[in-house]
Every structure is written in C-alpha cells, then in structure tokens.
Amino acid sequence: MKKWILAAAISAALTACSASQSPTALPQGVTLLETVTVADSAVGIPYKKYMLANGLTVVLHQDSSDPLVHVDVTYHVGSARELPGRSGFAHLFEHMMFQGSEHVGDEQHFKTVTEAGGTLNGTTNTDRTNYFETVPSNQLEKMLWLESDRMGYFLPALTEEKFEVQRETVKNERAQRIDNQPYGRMNERFNQAFYPAGHQYSWPVIGWPADLDRANVDDVKHFFQRWYGPNNATLTIGGDFDEVQALAWINKYFGEIPRGPEVTGETKELVTLDATRYISMEDRVHLPLLRIAFPTVYASHEDEAALDLLANIIGGGPTSLVYKNLVKDGYAVQAGVSHPCQELACQFSIYALANPARGGQLSDIEQRVKESIAEFEQRGVTDADLQKVKVQFEASTIFGLQSVKGKVSTLALNQTFFGDPDRIAFDLKRYAGVTKADVMRVFNTYIKGKPMVVMSVVPEGQKQLIAHADNFVAPAPKVADEAVSGVNAIALASSSFDRSVMPVAQQAPVITAPVLWTGNLQNGIPVMGTTSEETPTVELVIYLNGGHRLVDIKQAGLANLTASLLNESSQKRTTEELAQALEMLGSSVSFGASTYQSYIKVSTLTSHLDETLAIVNEKLFEPGFKAADFERIKQQHLQSLQHMQSDPNYIADSTFDALLFGADTPLGVSSQGTMASVAALTLEDVRAFYQVQYRAGNAQMVVVGDLNKDKLMNKLAGFATWQGDSSKLPAMKPLPALAGGHVYLLDKPGAAQSVIKIGKRAMPYDATGDYFKSYLMNYPLGGAFNSRINLNLREDKGYTYGARSYFSGGSEEGLFEASASVRTDVTAEAMVEFANEINGYQASGMTEKELMFMRNSISQGQALDYETPYQKAGFMRRIQRFGLDADFTQTQAQIINTISKETLNKLASSELKLDEMIVLIVGDRAKIEKNIKALGYPVTVLEL
C-alpha cells in the first residue's frame, strides 16, 4: 500500500487527515466514531475507530501489502496504577495473562499462536500493558478468541499454583535483567530520588521483591477486576483482513464482556525538586557512570517538543556540546542527553560513562556537563539546529512505520493516552513550529539554575570517584492498607455461544517470496534487490566477505576497530561535519564488522539517496584515518571490553566459544578482540587491514527501496570505479578436542544467577540439508516458547525467566547450544532438568503431536518473513552469502511438510548425545560448586 509519500515540506502533512462519521451497516452495539483517511501527498496512518457498547475502543487499519495481521490489546494500566508498597502487579499480570483462561488451557496461548505461525508477547511500562500477536491473516478470528477470553474469562482459571509459578518467574526476570546486570539497579534507585515519596513512578515497573512477596491471589484478582475491563482497553488491528467480517468477530467475542469499573485519567502535576539531590551506588562495574536529570513536563505538554530539540542540541550525537566536551576530549567513553517522556512526567536526562584512563573522577564529569550547559546558554540555537532535529523527527517517523506492527503500536499508544490514534500530522506540526525562542524559553524554565538529581555509580570499593557526597536518602516506602482500591461488585461474563470451541482458521493465505532482481556494477560487484513501495525509503547494505575471519588472531578486534574508524572523519570533513550532513538528510550510514564480514548499512529517504550515497563514497574511499580519532576510538574500545567483563552473559558467550573452538582461532575469540590484542593494535594495522578488506572483489550489495532496478542501479553507479580482487581467508588452526561430559565453572562472586550453557560443535549452515533439518528437529525441544526445555525450567519449575536450545551454523562450523540463566540456589537442579530433557529427546525423539505442531508453526510463519525492508534484505543476503537458489524457500517448505518423524528422530539420536557436550556455568562458585560436584560431573574451575 503506497501511502507514504513524503511531502515536499512538512506543512503538506498538516491538513492531510479528514474525519467523517458516515453511517455504515454495523453489528448491533458497535458504533463508528470516526474514519480518517490520508492524502497521497502526506504522511499518516488511515484508520477507522469504533466503540462497543461495553466501552471497548476498536481501531482498524487495513494494509494488504503482506498476508498477515497484527492484533494489539492495550490496557490503560501500568505500574502507575499501583499503590505504595503494592508494586509489581501490572507486570505480574503481563505474565499471568498467558497462563490460560476459562476456555483456553494452561500454556495454550503460546502454543496456539506459535502453531498458527505467529509471534506474540506482552509488555508493561509505567502507564500501559499491551498484548500482541502477529499472525498469518487467516488466523485473525483465533486471535480475537484468545484475547477476548483472557479479558472476560481470566479469573475462573486463576489458581494459587499458577500465581506462585509466575511470581517466581518474575523474580527470575528481575534477577536476570536487573540484579545480574551492570548498572541494573540504577534506574530504580534514581527514580526514588527523582520523584516524591509515593509518586507512581517512584517504584520499579517490575516491582520491589518485598512487595511481590506480600501479594496474594486475592490481591491479583482484585487488580484484574479493577483495571482489565473492556472500557479501559483499546483493541487495534492492522493488516490484510475483511473489515466487515472483523467487526462481526469483534462484537461476537468481546461484546458480551461486562464493563469494568470506571477509569479516570491520572492527575498530571509537574514534578519539582526543592534542591539538588546527590546519591551514589557501588556496583560490579568497570566504568564509573554519572547520571543527571531535571524534571520537566509530561507527554504531549506544549513544551515537550522544544525540550526534545534542546536535548538534541546539548547531547544528541557527534555534533552536540556534550559529545564535544566529554567524548571527543576523551573524558567519557560514552555520553548523551535525551528527553524521555511518560504519561505523567518527563526527564531531561544526561549520562556519561567516565574514562578510567583519564581518572574516572565523576566530579570532573559533572563539571564538564555543567560547562556544556553554560556553553549552550552562550551559544544559543542556530537555524541548522532546528532544521536537523525536524528532519530527523520526520525521517524517524517514516522509518518507524515500515511494518504493520509499527503502525498498530503507534495507533494503540496514541489512542490509549490521547484519544487520537493518528497524531503524526499533529506531531509534525508541533515540531515544525518550534522556534529558537521556544528552545531558549524551556532552557530557562526547566534547566538553567534548576535543582537536579545527580547519581554516581562507581566500581565496588571506589567510593572516592563519586561526584559529591550523598545528601539524600529515600524515605522508606509506605505500604497501602489494601492492594487495590475502587473494586466494586463486578458481573461475571456469560456467553451466548460455546467459547470452549477454538475457531477454525480460514484458508491459508498464499505466501510469496519477494520478487528479486540481480545485476552487476561495471566492476563486477553483484547487486541483489527488490522493490518495496510501502515507504519512500531505501535500505542498502554493502557486505564485504572477510571480517574477523580475515584477521590474524593476534590482531583480534582489528576488523571492528577499522569499521569504527571509518565511522569517523574523512580526508575532506571532520566526524562532526559528516554527522551534521547526515542529520540534515535524516539518513544513517554505519560501518561495522562481524565474524565473517565487514559491512556498511545505509538507511535513507529516497529523496535524499543521492546525497547520502555521496557521503558513503566519501567515507569509504577517502577515510581520514587520523591519529586523534584512532587513539580515542581505541581507548573507547578497550574500556568497552573491560566493561563487558562485568556482564555475566558476555563472559559466558566468549568463554563458551573459546572452549568449543579454541582460544587460538577466530571462531573462539570474539570479533571485539581481547584487551591484549586491541591494546597492541596501531593505526598502521588499521590502514593495512583497510587495504585487504575494503576491496571491490570482497563486496556484494543488497538493496530494498521504492525505486525499480534500473533507477537503483544508476544510483549505485558511483561504486563502479571501486577496484581490488577478493581476499583469501587464512587457514584455520585445528579445533580442540572436546572433553564431553565435563563441567567448566567460571567464578563470578555475588552473581544473582548462574548462566548455564550446554553444547558442542555441530554442522555448518545449509539451507536444505541436515543443518536445516536439525532446526526442525530441535523446534519442540527448545526452539519455541512452549518447547520441552522452557516449559520444564520456566513454567513447571520456576527456575528461570527463559530456557532454549538451538543450532547455529556459519560457512565453516556450527554449534548446538542449550542455555538459561537460573536462580543460583537451583543451579544443580537446573542442570539435571536440562540433562533429562536432552537425554529423553535424544532417546525417543518427538511425538506425532510435536511433529504436527512444528510443521504448522514453521510453515505458516513464513507469512511473516518478508514484511519489512530489513527482513527482505536479510533474505537476499542469505541467498548471496551461501549461493542459494532464489526459490530455496520452496524446497524448505516441501521438506517441512513431508519430512518424516523417523528422519527427525534419527537426527536427534545422532546430534544430541549429551556425553559429547560440554557444560559451562558462570556463577557464584562458593554457592554452587558443591552441589554441581555432587552430580558426579568432572569439574574444572576457570579464571577470568
């Protein structure tokens, strides 16, 4: 659907939308509220908005470009609806709502959606909870049945056992995402100081552990009754569907659900501080971090847009003052300014990761931040400042709407918070209307001389690095007498039809892969492309075979360091000048590297393609390779490597690779390199690698845009003068023999969880052979949410937030891995369950039901594979890199539908022998070693 034609000027979008309430034949009880169309010369999302008699708001957006639908149910309830001392309910409910309802069995939500070929999830923030599914278009009725059943019939299925399991799952999620992560506890500590005691944003969305322990089943029931009624929800559907049929289904499944208690909007009172508050925290980190924030307004306040522009000017990238004064000068490894907004409050937020090589003293960082703010006051706002931010906003709006999910999410959010689904024209107008005087006014109103919260996070034992002595202690949170207020007697939902009968899917949509074209530039560089007219954008990726694999292992990290330097200055312009040029276009150009390739990713509006490609050529063919850039980038890289040693997951990944592939091969050493290898690199090394890697003979291109082949090939002609033959990969050293059945334990004292990895080397990638068939074989074991491993460790035992297994293959080698982050106190027990599941599956294989589940899920899921330009580019790159036939997916589909259970089980028998696998555990040795050894495994303790 070609609705995204960028206006020549922003003003063209401002009068693009029209609304009407023309009468239509509708199901009884359904009211059409408005119809909004979008002119072809404008940017926006056409939709129709309806309301059911019970108050449910329905927003429908039709897009027939792909055979899929995205369904979103957003409830206007987040952690801000909780009461003091009763935190975590909204997030807990996100988990509980996947545990079945009166007519949908336990674990059936995930199974039903996955088997239908769809994806699903739920998210919770301070202000809303949403549940969403993307499925083939023939599965829409089934999704409405699922969502309506948990809206209207959840409570009869709620049990004490389910509640306890999900409470443990939430604790595991907290341990994994907060307690076991560097800086993980920073946000919740910061918000306690930033917001008044008892403010809805002063507690974490995931909840305080003590509050979770305090909750009981009745509290959960009351929270659901209070907030999850249809009158506090918006159902949004986007994609390829029949509107009349969809409305009939919506009315059938949702119309009989009783209205819930009335819900009013929260009071929006501006947050203020009486004085600057200093707080600090020691953490298991390497880089000292300074975080500063000023309270400002709230989402959609008249000053929000000007504050966003102010944040961009002071700290929004390489052209900003904070970058110049902190990062460019080497005092910070990273720094930035943003203005995130929530429904009730916004923060003007500044952060900087101090460079220990320059002392790491956060008082110095704070002073430089203050000097940057003072410099802005003297410098003021330029015309270029306003133009670049407005162009960036407009471009990001376009790029954010490349998928049905993106459009549906936008409609749902805007309806929930503002009662207006498509605010694109409104937002463009308010950003276009910001003046220099507006920016200076909000600076003087909210920033200049105003109190702030200043938080220092320093490595354990290095309290001397904090910016200032603490002068604020958050008061102990009060505990509300009741968990939920405002619950009235609520009528239970009844149904006029048998809800226990799952709807039958309609005829499956015809799935077609993108129509591809191929060509060659005059110098022989192969180009593969496809036309996508949904947005006026072009996505180009230039791949260069080689990457980390092309580097001598003693120079590990060189491919990444070279790419990073190519993101800096050219011979003609500085880093800041190039960044400014791209910002003025709303484009992005990014050099990077991975194990087998270096790459250049280009995203641009079609109208700015020529100018953007000129910048790509300048960066690629005339790199600056300046000594000052090199020293700064190298120092940042070294500090980043040191920082990653604080992350248990990075430690586990890099150590596991070294065990499997050897610490003297490029597959066993991270493409990021090591402290020793990166420290030894020189600018001459970078120049030499550039000559070997960035040659035309190594290059291949994929491109997705709203131009045809001839036009795109003409645009790419500037690369036709690129020269150089392909580079040969160095020989790989022999890989190590694996000590199957051996456990390697890497001690991380104080770790909140244990990271477990079990695996072995396996076959390299192939599209239709045993590698692909092993992917099918593993699907019921650990490849889906409702796989055996995840249901056991997460849903049945409550050991983890998630567990999985998978095969991964490159052009030379592959691996099989089963992994999870588990509670420290059940590390040994989790190993036993992993072993039981892998051994049982290896011995007996999948069942007939699992075979059918796999077939349905994977084959129908192909409808979702080619929606976005990014997905199309990835599809084409796979064909290029591995030399596949353009119709290889048809062969895969035939395999999926015809492969026998016996063939798959034979693969399981040969590929899943546990005694051929090694085990790595990263955790607190003092707490887990004894129980692991008691299992009888030989254990080797590793050092970091």
> Mean pLDDT over residues 399-410, rounded?
89
Nearest CA to 341 out of 430, 277, 263, 404 is that of 430
CB atoms < 10 A from the CB of 315, how many?
Answer: 29
Does pLDDT of 42 surpass 80?
A: no
Does pLDDT of 14 surpass 70?
A: no
pLDDT in tens, 538-589: 999 999 999 999 999 999 999 999 999 999 999 999 999 999 999 999 999 9
CA atoms within 13 A on the CB side of 702: 20
**Token pair of 27, please?**
């199901």
What is the rounded distance in angstroms from the CA atom of residue 538 to the CA atom of residue 605?
A: 6
Q: Can you list the alpha helix ranges (DSSP code H) found in 779-868?
A: 788-790, 827-844, 848-861
User: Which amino acid is located at 721 in the chain?
Assistant: T
If pLDDT is split at 50, 70 and 90, which confidence band does 24 have? low
883 three-class SS:
coil
User: Which amino acid is located at 610 in the chain?
Assistant: D
Fold of 10-254: Cytochrome Bc1 Complex; Chain A, domain 1 (3.30.830)
What is the rounded distance in angstroms from the CA atom of residue 285 to the CA atom of residue 461?
A: 11
Residue 611: alpha-carbon gap to chain centroid: 30
User: What backbone phi and psi angles, to 5 degrees, belong to 750?
Assistant: 80, 5
Cβ atoms of residues 277 and 456 within 8 Å:
no
Residue 720 Cα distances to 93, 617, 697, 933, angstroms: 57, 11, 12, 62
If pLDDT is split at 50, 70 and 90, which confidence band does 12 have? very low
User: Which amino acid is located at 875 in the chain?
Assistant: F
Cβ atoms of residues 278 and 467 within 8 Å:
yes
Backbone φ/ψ region at 299: left (φ over 0), alpha (ψ -120 to 50), beta: beta
Cβ atoms of residues 156 and 900 within 8 Å:
no
Burial of 835 (0-12, 13-18, 19+ CB in 10 A): middle
DSSP for 66-86? SSEEEEEEEES-SGGGS-TT-
Burial readout 321-350 (b: 16 or more C-beta within 10 A, e: otherwise)? bbbbbbbbeebbbbbbbbbebbbbbbbbbb
pLDDT value, residue 488: 72
Residues 6+ apart with CB under 8 A from 622: 570, 571, 572
pLDDT value, residue 494: 82
If pLDDT is split at 50, 70 and 90, which confidence band does 764 have? very high
If pLDDT is split at 50, 70 and 90, which confidence band does 23 have? very low
**Token pair of 769, please?**
């052979």
> Mean pLDDT over residues 590-603, rounded?
97
pLDDT value, residue 2: 33
Nearest CA to 752 out of 823, 839, 676 is that of 823
> Mean pLDDT over residues 744-771, rounded?
95
User: In which order are the strands placed within the sheet that holds 517-520?
Assistant: 517-520, 526-531, 699-705, 537-545, 597-605, 588-593
Does pLDDT of 15 surpass 80?
A: no
Looking at domain 277-465, its CATH class is: alpha beta
What is the rounded distance in angstroms from the CA atom of residue 239 to the CA atom of residue 237?
A: 7
pLDDT value, residue 820: 97
CB atoms < 10 A from the CB of 370, how many?
Answer: 12
Angle 306-307-311 from CA coordinates, rounded to 5°: 120
Q: Can you list the alpha helix ranges (DSSP code H) found in 419-518?
A: 424-432, 436-442
Does pLDDT of 246 surpass 50?
A: yes
Kindly state the percentage of the chain with pLDDT values over 90. 77
pLDDT value, residue 19: 45
CA atoms within 13 A on the CB side of 921: 33
CB atoms < 10 A from the CB of 396, how many?
Answer: 12
What is the rounded distance in angstroms from the CA atom of residue 254 to the CA atom of residue 7?
A: 39
DSSP type of residue 130: E
Between the two ends of the chain, the Cα-to-Cα distance in Å is: 54
DSSP type of residue 23: -
pLDDT value, residue 65: 85
Does pLDDT of 714 surpass 90?
A: yes
**Token pair of 178, please?**
């907060």
Residues across the chain: 944
> Mean pLDDT over residues 427-436, rounded?
91
pLDDT in tens, 320-353: 999 999 999 899 999 999 999 999 999 999 999 9
Q: Identify the weakest region by mean pLDDT among 29-43, 140-154, 289-303, 543-557.
A: 29-43
Angle 713-717-718 from CA coordinates, rounded to 5°: 145
Consecutive H or E run containing 18: strand 17-20
Cβ atoms of residues 187 and 194 within 8 Å:
no
CB atoms < 10 A from the CB of 717, how many?
Answer: 11
Cβ atoms of residues 146 and 778 within 8 Å:
no
> Mean pLDDT over residues 17-40, rounded?
75
Strands 233-239, 57-62: pairing kind? parallel
Does pLDDT of 843 surpass 60?
A: yes
If pLDDT is split at 50, 70 and 90, which confidence band does 482 have? confident
> Mean pLDDT over residues 699-716, rounded?
96
Evaluate the CA torsion angle 80, 85, 90, 91 in order and state its sign. Answer: positive
Cβ atoms of residues 12 and 19 within 8 Å:
no
User: What backbone phi and psi angles, to 5 degrees, belong to 133?
Assistant: -140, 140
Q: Do 277-465 and 517-719 fold alike per CATH?
A: yes
* Mean pLDDT score of the chain: 92
Residue with tokens 């999704």: 143
**Token pair of 524, please?**
């022989």
pLDDT value, residue 397: 86
What is the rounded distance in angstroms from the CA atom of residue 553 to the CA atom of residue 662?
A: 11
**Token pair of 463, please?**
């309290």
Residue 259 Cα distances to 151, 246, 463, 901, angstroms: 11, 21, 54, 48
Q: Can you list the alpha helix ranges (DSSP code H) found in 862-900?
A: 869-882, 888-898
Query: Which architecture does CATH list for 517-719?
Result: 2-Layer Sandwich (3.30)
> Mean pLDDT over residues 181-207, rounded?
94
Cβ atoms of residues 2 and 39 within 8 Å:
no
Consecutive H or E run containing 627: helix 627-644
Does pLDDT of 369 surpass 90?
A: yes
If pLDDT is split at 50, 70 and 90, which confidence band does 180 have? confident
pLDDT value, residue 8: 31
DSSP type of residue 914: G
Does pLDDT of 5 surpass 50?
A: no
Burial of 172 (0-12, 13-18, 19+ CB in 10 A): buried
Number of H helices, E strands in the chain: 31, 25
Nearest CA to 597 out of 754, 468, 702, 440 is that of 702
What is the rounded distance in angstroms from the CA atom of residue 712 to the CA atom of residue 527?
A: 10
For the chain, the domains span 10-254, 277-465, 517-719, 743-942
**Token pair of 788, please?**
């055996």
Evaluate the CA torsion angle 837, 843, 845, 847 in order and state its sign. Answer: negative
User: What backbone phi and psi angles, to 5 degrees, belong to 35?
Assistant: -120, 125
> What global pTM score does this model have?
0.90
DSSP for 218-264? HHHHHHHHHH-SGGGEEEEEEES--HHHHHHHHHHHHTTSPP-S---
> Mean pLDDT over residues 907-926, rounded?
97
What is the rounded distance in angstroms from the CA atom of residue 528 to the CA atom of residue 516?
A: 7
CATH among 3.30.300.20, 3.30.830.10, 3.40.1500.10, 3.30.1740.10 for 743-942: 3.30.830.10
- Paired residues of 133 in beta bridges: 71, 120
Evaluate the CA torsion angle 306, 311, 316, 321 in order and state its sign. Answer: positive
> Mean pLDDT over residues 60-72, rounded?
93
Nearest CA to 277 out of 133, 454, 73, 407 is that of 454
